[in-house]
Amino acid sequence: MRVLGLDIGSRSVDAVWLDDGRIVDWAVADSGFDPGSAAAIFVDRGAHDAIVSTGYGRHAARERFGGTAITEITAYGIGAAALHPDVASVLDIGGQDTKVISLGSAGKVTDFEMNDKCAAGTGKFLEVMARALGFTLEEMAAAALAAKSGVVISSMCTVFAESEVTGLVHRGEDRGRIARGLHESIVTRTLGSLRRIGAKGPLVFAGGVAKNPAMVELVAKGFDGAVLVPAEAQTVGAFGAALCAARSEA
Amino acid sequence: MAGEGVDYRPMWAELGLDLPMHDALLEAVGGMYGQTFMTQANRPEGMGYLDFVMSEVHGLRIKELDDFRKSGGKVVGTYCLYVPEELIRAAGAWSVGICAGAEWAYDQVEQILPRNTCALIKSMMGFKLGKVCPYLEEADLLVGETTCDGKKKAYEELGKLQNMYVMELPQMKRAKDVAFWRSELVDLIAKLEALTGKKVTAESLKASIKEVNDKRRALQRVNAARAADPAPISGLDSLLAVQVAFYDDVPRFTQMMNALADELEARVADGVGVAPTGAKRVLITGTPMALPNWKLHQIVETAGGVVVGEEMCTGSRYFEKLVNEDASTLDEMLDDLAAKYLDINCACFTPNEGRLDDVVRMARNLKADGVIDYSLQFCGTYQIESTAVQKTVHDAGLPVLSIDTDYSAEDVGQLSTRVEAFLEML
Ligand code: SF4
Ligand code: SF4
């Protein structure tokens, strides 16, 4: 039996195909201005017996492709628990939102928090700051790792932080220290959210920002418990959706 | 939402409404009402009355107020639960709760009030500045109260535009506060008597206490039925009933709500519901939801949940407690009124532990699977109290979701995701 999980996010559309419970294929595409069409290409790729959509485009996808829809929270819980059976919490930092999830047994969500109101502390935030520093994302992460200490950044609002960073650069502050400070301020906030929901280790760190080595190192340093980064951190949601599809068919 | 065939425009024009803007408001609210309420499955027939009232919200009801005033009656507008409707009625006036549940004329509002003012206060000013609320324009007197700082200071601005009287509400609930509040009730009576030229007597007050209690009893019946699974009435419809309670004719409304309660009780006996048995049940607690603020209920119920109770001023706080009916002298009645009103658990008071107990008790009685704690952005009192609410609910073994929002539709997508995830988790 072949099933498809789709995660239609604001930045990317992720797909995972399972056959008898095993991953047989996965793919990622840019959402662009028409994420539905990006998803349609995946849906048309071959026959499947069931489909479950997640992500902010889940309802539109369900209407267009059939199947059912679940939220990212539930999908990440299922996906993370399948990758690491003893996982107790999930951190997902995506392009435009951050989620922290506490899990009970078998990936069942017991509490969660989402920052979805603004870009503060998300992938978007890091992109804007890298631009302000004249770095690529990779360069910024490397510079942050190389710096011994970070500058304290007081604003979390993307717009204010950007002008703060510009001001620091003009004053001749070391770009590496600024980069480290930016990463530290996101991590401090994220750890606060994790504490608020009583998140325990092991923690699965997923989402696009989990590819950033500076973020991973700082989260691992501050979190009380093991931090695991899945190989395909971005597709955990789609994987969870696919598993949900497989279970409903079984 | 104008009535069929009747032209209310001359009446609205006479009230000084901005007709084109008023048309726009009615169209927006009418559209929202249709999409939100009329699309619900298996509604109780008794909701037909509220549908009618809503379709005539600026029509027939305003005509009634208008006729009442033309025959010498006075209309008093209020913004908060603490202003006793009983006293207003005992002085021969009619009381209308002025809604402040939609974003309106914020561009004008923000010239007077800071942007970071709660939506309720902004809306209250917006309806006045935008000249679109016939209830406000029918009000001969507005009675405010010193609850939160935002309202208190905004009343100073509103008072420049309309005849306004502000009651001083204590911030604690000790015996001396009750005594003080009682003295405020006495002052209000003097103010009302001067307005209507009628005396508040033991007889008139006894009658109005009974009348308003009857209204509360009818709402208690409607809400008690919601403890059943399947729920016989949606959260949206129950919320609407309380919202309408603030401005509809009292005896008529009471009668219609009792009829609705009869129907709901029969539904419960027959196991008829608006959502399937086992649908996730949610109690909402927090800041009031003034008409036409249906945002959170709609999100929850569209996502397949059912709202089974509201611990808020447009909910249990309005109807749960009755005024003692056994008093025979005016003095005793004032004691009873002061005691009952200071027993409302609003976050403007400190401490406000009664509210925490109310939330847990209601969640249990209504068999809620989870609680949503709802605050309007920039409402310091409720936002701060949210920490205690979340902890209490959590300690009682129930999941809780905390939401901060306003009246705009901007965050509906994000809120839906959080609410759906919450329902999936229950
Ligand atoms: S929340 Fe408090 S201030 Fe607001 S209407 Fe209720 S009692 Fe009045
Ligand atoms: S919602 Fe909060 S800030 Fe707004 S009027 Fe009520 S108590 Fe005041």
Note the pLDDT tens digit of each residue in B98-137: 989 999 999 999 999 999 999 999 999 999 999 999 999 9
Q: Match domain A86-229 to its CATH number in 3.30.420.40, 1.10.10.10, 3.30.360.10, 3.40.50.300.
A: 3.30.420.40
Residue A120 confidence (pLDDT) above 80: no
Q: CB B421 to CB A72 under 8 A?
A: yes
- Please state, in angstroms and rounded to a whole number, the distance separating the CA atoms of residues B167 and B65: 24
* Averaged pLDDT score across all residues of chain B: 96
* Closest residue of chain A to B400, computed from CA coordinates: A111
For residue B396, pLDDT over 90 is answered with yes
Establish whether residue B79 lines the binding site of ligand 2, counting it when its CB lies within 6 angstroms of any ligand atom: no
C-alpha–C-alpha distance, residues A212 and B40, integer Å: 47
* Residue A101 pLDDT exceeds 70: yes
pLDDT band at A8 (very low <50, low <70, confident <90, very high): very high
Q: Which three-class secondary structure state does DSSP give residue B417?
A: helix
pLDDT on residue B2: 47
Is a pLDDT exceeding 50 seen at residue B225?
yes
Residue B203 pLDDT grade (very low, low, confident, very high; cuts 50, 70, 90): very high
pLDDT, position A116 = 63
- Which chain A residues contact residue B425 at CB under 8 A? 73-74, 108-112
Ligand 2 center to B181 CA (angstroms): 20
CA atoms within 13 A on the CB side of A242: 32
Sequence spans of domains, chain A: 1-84+235-250, 86-229
DSSP for B291-306 reads TT--HHHHHHHHTT-E
Q: Which long-range contacts (CB under 8 A, 24 or more apart) does B199-202 make?
A: B199/B91, B200/B87, B200/B90, B200/B91, B200/B330, B201/B90, B201/B330, B202/B328, B202/B329, B202/B330, B202/B333
The CA B314 to ligand 1 mean position distance, Å, reads 9
**Is A70 in Cβ contact with B425 (below 8 Å)?**
no
Q: Report whether pLDDT(B347) > 70.
A: yes
Chain A residues lying within 8 Å of B418, measured CB to CB: 114, 116
In the structure, what pLDDT confidence band is assigned to residue A122 with cuts at 50, 70 and 90?
A: confident
Interface test with B, best of A71, A89, A101, A114 (most B CBs within 10 A): A71
Is residue A204 within 8 Å of A75, Cβ to Cβ?
no
User: Chain B partners of A109 at a C-beta cutoff of 8 Å?
Assistant: 421, 424-425
Residue at token pair 């597709």? A235
In percent, the amount of chain B with pLDDT more than 70 equals 99
Residue B166 has pLDDT above 60, yes or no: yes
Between A22 and B224, residue with greater pLDDT: B224
What is the pTM (predicted TM-score) of this model?
A: 0.90
Question: Does residue A116 sit at the B interface (CB-CB below 8 Å)?
Answer: yes
- Kindly determine whether residue B425 and residue A72, on different chains, have CB atoms separated by under 8 Å: no
Q: Which of A248, A199, A5 is nearest to A100 (CA)?
A: A199
Ligand 2 lined by B346 (C-beta under 6 Å): no
A1-84+235-250, superfamily in CATH?
A: ATPase, nucleotide binding domain (3.30.420.40)
What is the pLDDT at residue A121?
A: 75
Looking at chain B, which residue has its C-alpha nearest residue A69?
B420
Q: Do the chains contact at B424 and A110, CB–CB below 8 Å?
A: no
Domain spans in chain B, listed from the N-terminal domain onward: 9-425
Q: Residues of chain A with pLDDT > 70: what percent?
A: 98
pLDDT in tens, A135-167: 999 999 999 999 999 988 888 788 888 888 888
Per-residue pLDDT averaged across B237-247, rounded?
97
Per-residue model confidence as pLDDT tens digits over B20-48: 999 999 999 999 999 999 999 999 999 99
DSSP label of A11: S
Determine whether the shortest distance from the Cβ of B382 to ligand 2 is under 6 A. Answer: yes
Ligand nearest to the CA of B385: 2
pLDDT at B65: 97
